[in-house]
Amino acid sequence: MSHPDNCLFCKIAAGAIPSRKVYEDDELFAFHDIHPAAPVHFLLIPKLHIDSLAQAGPEHAAILGRMTLLAPRLALEQGCNPYPEGGFRTVINTGAEGGQEVHHLHMHVMGGPRPWLRG
């Protein structure tokens, strides 16, 4: 399940491929999406390589919880307006039919004034 040697997001989390960093700690990394679909659009990933949400197990409950709880804080820091008038969208695409293109689990966080480019 782990292919960190040829995984784009593992390389981004390690700094081997440059990105516009939003946040980093021991377990998590966040960076701006290269093709933003909204005024604010960043990706939040575990540094640990997990292919997708389909491969997540009970051992990943804490990291998934941390990602979910970090998203609102980073969304505000990146310029999303506050709930309820503002807010943001979180999306985890899983598998080909789920629209997943990069096979390292990631959460899209999108927000800002509408209209957005997509969605």
Which residues are known to be catalytic? Answer: 106
Pick from ligand 5GP, Zn ion, none: which does 34 bind, CB < 5 to 8 A by kind?
ligand 5GP
Distance CA(50)–CA(104), nearest Å, equals: 6
81 lies in the binding site for ligand 5GP (CB under 6 A): no
Taking CB under 6 A as the criterion, the residue among 4, 33, 51, 56 binding ligand 5GP is 33
104 lies in the binding site for Zn ion (CB under 5 A): yes
Q: What is the nearest approach in angstroms of ligand 5GP to the Cβ of residue 76?
A: 21
Distance CA(82)–CA(62), nearest Å, equals: 26
The dihedral of CA 34, 40, 46, 51: what is its sign? negative
49 lies in the binding site for Zn ion (CB under 5 A): yes
109 lies in the binding site for Zn ion (CB under 5 A): no
Q: 94 with 52: CB under 8 angstroms?
A: yes
91 lies in the binding site for Zn ion (CB under 5 A): no
Query: 6: which 2 tokens?
Result: 């040829």
